[in-house]
């Protein structure tokens, strides 16, 4: 007899995971690239409660990378998290995009309180070896 394979988001028994324990405190991860803004809201253990992106909010092309698109995406994700019970958050911002500041303002506008803000943008400490010099 064939075994049941687990599919992403499902346990080995074939049932979908139901509910994540949510306390009033959580974390918000904002990844802002030059082309999009990705938002993940988690509980204190790191389990995802809500997520969103500029593309998921209905923006396409160059409009996805605007601060307004980041605001709309954050509002949608934050409203879902508030319904689940998150009230105050620690914010972790990553990346160089234009949606960083506006996403933070949107958190405040929705009614969440921000406990702390940390920039976790990766910075290379010399990084990989550079390409060889171009000869013309």
- Name the domain count of the chain: 1
Q: Is residue 8 part of a domain?
A: no
Q: Is residue 10 part of a domain?
A: no
Q: Is residue 9 part of a domain?
A: no
Q: Is residue 36 part of a domain?
A: yes
Identify the three-state secondary structure at position 117: strand
CATH number at residue 75: 3.30.420.80
d(CA 75, CA 38): 12
**Is-above-0.85 flag for pTM?**
no
User: CA nearest 95: which of 123, 70, 72?
Assistant: 123
Q: Is residue 106 part of a domain?
A: yes
Q: Please report the pLDDT score of residue 3 as a whole number.
A: 54
pLDDT tens digits in sequence order for the chain, 136 residues long: 555 555 555 555 566 566 778 889 999 999 999 999 999 999 999 999 999 999 999 999 999 999 999 999 999 999 999 999 999 999 999 999 999 999 999 999 999 999 999 999 999 898 889 899 999 8
Q: Is residue 135 part of a domain?
A: no
Q: Please report the pLDDT score of residue 15 as a whole number.
A: 61
Q: Is residue 127 part of a domain?
A: no
Q: Which domain holds residue 48?
A: 25-119
Q: Please report the pLDDT score of residue 19 as a whole number.
A: 75
d(CA 21, CA 48): 10
Q: Is residue 82 part of a domain?
A: yes
Q: Please report the pLDDT score of residue 32 as a whole number.
A: 96
Token pair for 71: 């605001």
């Amino acid at each position: 007899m064939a075994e049941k394979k687990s599919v992403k988001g499902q346990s080995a028994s074939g049932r979908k995971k139901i509910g994540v324990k949510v306390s009033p405190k959580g974390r918000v991860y904002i990844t802002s690239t030059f082309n999009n803004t990705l938002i993940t809201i988690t509980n204190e253990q790191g389990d995802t409660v809500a997520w969103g992106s500029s593309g998921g909010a209905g923006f396409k092309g160059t409009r996805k990378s605007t601060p307004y698109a980041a605001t709309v995406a954050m509002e949608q994700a934050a409203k879902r998290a508030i319904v689940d019970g998150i009230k105050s958050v620690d914010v972790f911002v990553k990346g160089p995009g234009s949606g960083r500041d506006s996403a933070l303002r949107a958190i405040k506008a929705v009614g969440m309180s921000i406990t702390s803000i940390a920039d976790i943008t990766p910075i290379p400490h010399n990084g990989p070896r550079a390409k060889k010099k171009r000869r013309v």
